[in-house]
Each structure stands twice: as C-alpha cells, then as structure tokens.
Amino acid sequence: MYAFLSTLAFVVCGASVRATSLMYTLRAGVRISSGGTVIIRSVRAKMTVPFCASLCGATCGAFQVSSMTDECVTFSERFHTKGIELTSDPEWTLGYSQSSVSDGDWTLAFRAQTGLNAYVYKTWVSDGTHHDSPEEAGDFPQVCLRLVDYGSCDRYFRSQILDNWEKIQEVRFSMVKSGAEVAYAVFNGTGTDRESWFHPSRIMSSSWQPGVTTDTLTRPEIKGYCGGTGTACRRFKLYGASLGCPKEWAYTVTIDAPYDACVDQGHWPTAGDPAQDFPVFLYSQSGRGGLGESAEYPLIQRADVMAVWVKFAWPPANK
C-alpha cells in the first residue's frame, strides 16, 4: 500500500508549498491556539500562504495564515511539540515543517535497511539525530527514503518525530521486501511514548491478526533483549514463548547485532547470516512464523526494510 514513494512527497489534503528550499505541509481549518513561541506576526493586504511560508524561514517550525484578517504568524515550535495546543478554525491554514516523507496522512518517522551493519535500536534512541531538520534534509540520500529501488542505500532515516512523540494517533510498523510491503501492524498511538506504542494490546489492524493480539508473547518490546557476543540481541519483538531455538516462533523480530546464538548454532534456517549482514528483519507472512528448524509453522521470512510511519491527531473538523 505504501510501496511507491519514489520521491519526496509533501502533499496532505492536496496542498503543498515550497519556500526558501524548506518544505511545508498545509492543513486547512486548523490553527495553533496556545503554547507556541511567536517569531513574527505580520498583517498585509492579500496575505498569501507562500508569502507567510517565506517569513517562516530556517528556524521556524510552523506558521499560520488567516484568510479573513490577512494575518501571518510564525512559530519556533513544530506543531506537535509538547505544549502546543491546536484548535479547529475554518479561517486559518496551518503550515508546518516535519519529516520529509509522507504518504496521505502517514509521515515517515524511521526507516532501517537490512545488511547495513549498523545498530537499529541505537539509532532509534539517538536523541538529536534528525535527518529531516532544515540543516540536514537537503543532504540526506533520497535512496534511503525509498521503498522501491533502495539497493544502494547506506544509512537509516531518523525523523525528529522520535524526539517529539506528541499528538501521535496511530503508528504503522511496516516490513518491506523487494519493493512491496509484506507485513504490517497499525498500533493505537494515543498516550504513548516512542517505545510504548509497540505492544500487541494496541494493535488495531495487522497482517498478523488475529493471532498477534490473542497469543501470549514474550516481552513484546522495541528494546527487547540484547546480550553480548555469543548471546542474542533481538528488538522490535512480537515473539512467542522461549521453547528452545529449534521450536521457536514469532510474528516479527529484528536481529540487531552481528551474532545470534540460535542462528549461529544453525537452528534458524531462514534467518540469514547476521555476522555478514545485520540487522536481520524477520516477519511471518501470516499467522505464526517458525524461526526454528522444527517449529510447527511456515518458516519466517527476511525483509529488506523496516519502516515506521505515524499519523498525527488533529482537532475534529468544525461542524
């Protein structure tokens, strides 16, 4: 469904605008009502969205324009920063800079790729790494934002959203293989932080339903378990009981180190070779996926890309 992002996309509700090489997404009928730090407030006849966007500049996170009063207000915060209150108001259009990739209402927050020999969780928690900041967005390789033809990508994408986990309504965890989404789960993001959303009790829809929400899973966490060399480092876990390597099963698990005891002992036949190429993203095609050689389920598969998308909560539209 989300497999054809070939370029930077900036369209929400059919509107987008580019100003001074920054890009903004527009949302009609919404304004920031409190909590924002105003940089500029300007009124002039026939105020336009592009003109207001041009006032927003490099350090600005959001702006809003009133069609009634010809007013432009720019703010230093991004609209989903903690403390910002939004309200629906048909007079105003809100513009905001955020992650550089969106697809409909979904915004890309994180993208990792197999075989890059870089730690996924370490990147996930590396506060301050923002590949979508105005300073960095221009230099970030486009190929590492793509969900097709990504073979030459050499790094992960981490949005500032991970450090501003506010107003998140839903989170889509997505596994991509050969340019197509092969498994996913959508989680209820309301009231979560950047790790707590990942729990089976929050799954609203998934290619792994119904089992993923009814099975008892072992520590279903992003952080998971990570031991030293010779043990295992497993993240983003929706994983069954500890039955011993040959019999284990999962819906998904990320091997996030160049070793994994079960793989290294030859018990997980489809898990690749983390020593050569980690991380390894494993997913079941439907139902439980067998990790071990004597698991009772169809064997788990390897994905190329793991992507996390978010959908923001907006005030309800005025009736």
Which residues are near ligand NAG by CB under 6 A? 188, 190-191
Q: Which helix (H) or strand (E) holds 62?
A: strand 62-66
Tell me whether residue 133 or residue 213 sits nearer to ligand NAG (CB atom).
213
Tell me whether residue 151 or residue 191 sits nearer to ligand NAG (CB atom).
191
How far, CA to CA in Å, does 134 sit from each of 21, 22, 150, 158, 159?
Answer: 9, 7, 23, 14, 11
Handedness of CA 159, 11, 174, 309 (dihedral sign): positive
Helix (DSSP H) and strand (DSSP E) numbers for the chain? 5, 19
Q: How far is the CB of 189 from ligand NAG (least distance, A)?
A: 8
Tell me whether residue 20 or residue 205 sits nearer to ligand NAG (CB atom).
205
Q: How far is the CB of 163 from ligand NAG (least distance, A)?
A: 22
**Rounded CA gap, 303 and 272, in Å?**
11
Tell me whether residue 133 or residue 188 sits nearer to ligand NAG (CB atom).
188
The residue with its CB nearest to ligand NAG is 188
Task: Could you list the beta-strand ranges (E) of 128-279.
Answer: 157-158, 168-177, 180-188, 203-206, 225-226, 233-239, 249-255
Tell me whether residue 96 or residue 106 sits nearer to ligand NAG (CB atom).
106
Q: How far is the CB of 170 from ligand NAG (least distance, A)?
A: 8
**Rounded CA gap, 13 and 59, in Å?**
25
Q: How far is the CB of 215 from ligand NAG (least distance, A)?
A: 19
Contact 217, 242 (CB under 8 A): no
Contact 192, 186 (CB under 8 A): no
Q: How far is the CB of 169 from ligand NAG (least distance, A)?
A: 8
Identify the three-state secondary structure at position 136: helix
Tell me whether residue 234 or residue 311 sits nearer to ligand NAG (CB atom).
311
Q: How far is the CB of 314 from ligand NAG (least distance, A)?
A: 15
**Rounded CA gap, 292 and 282, in Å?**
12
Contact 103, 309 (CB under 8 A): yes
Q: How far is the CB of 171 from ligand NAG (least distance, A)?
A: 11
Give 238's contacts (C-beta < 8 A, 6+ positions apart).
Answer: 185, 200, 208, 212, 217, 220, 250, 251, 252, 253
Tell me whether residue 73 or residue 186 sits nearer to ligand NAG (CB atom).
186
